[in-house]
Amino acid sequence: MKYPVNEVFETIQGEGLFTGVPAIFVRLQGCPVGCSWCDTKHTWETLSQNRVDADLVIQVDGEIGRWAELTAQQLIDQLVAQGFTAEHIVITGGEPCMYDLTELTSTLFDAGYRCQIETSGTFEVKCHSQTWVTVSPKINMKGGYPVLPQALNCANEIKHPVAKQSHIDELDLLLKDIDISNKTICLQPISQKARATELAMKVCIERNWRLSIQTHKYLNID
């Protein structure tokens, strides 16, 4: 299977449970969810005129929406050729779960990598059983896609952006019938606003949840 890759780069994971871990980000092209605040809108459409050779998406900013088709093994070959040393792979997008990620994650695991998927939860999650699934639920977005119980049940980590109490209420409603006893719940203040941070901290303390800070934004790194 070939995957439409927008960019591949090595950095530090800035969010969630794996904050601070060296990571290779694999950003896939394509997303119909339509989040108004999305900072990667260039990944929404997979336009034929933006298809490029594989070497043009490795360690290159994909902000113009270009993409290349790579198999899992071709991706691994590129990682080795670049001399990347991180062992943690973050598969993001776009919306990566538009695609069946079973072959990709299985091949990466067989090659010695650990995999994490970052998804909106609006598509069924298909991946290797040991993949760490992070769902950042996108509720009532323009695309009209509901957050799926299947994705929430698959999640190891639910990372929810918050700015006000209604965002907490939305999350509570979403998780009403989901067993979260073995899941990491992270609240992530939107845009580093003091009010949002105070609310997220308060709820995390009350519920023994985890605060997720967008470390990369404070450090001004990718």
pLDDT above 90 covers a percentage of the chain that reads 82
Its sign, for the CA torsion 196, 16, 118, 220, is positive
pLDDT at 59 over 90: no
In the structure, what pLDDT confidence band is assigned to residue 23 with cuts at 50, 70 and 90? Answer: very high
Q: State the Cα–Cα distance between residues 149 and 122, nearest whole angstrom.
A: 9
Instruction: Quickly state the pLDDT bin for 222 (edges 50, 70, 90).
Output: low
pLDDT at 216: 53
What is the overall mean pLDDT for the chain?
93
Cβ neighbors of 21 (< 8 A, separation 6 or more) are 12, 13, 86, 88
pLDDT digits (tens, 9 = 90+) for 86-95: 999 999 999 9
CA 81 to chain centroid, in Å, comes to 24
At residue 151 the predicted structure's pLDDT band, cuts being 50, 70 and 90, is very high
At 60 the pLDDT is 77
Query: β-strands 157-162, 132-135: how paired?
Result: parallel
Q: Can you tell me the distance from the alpha carbon of 176 to that of 20, in angstroms, rounded to the nearest whole number?
A: 31
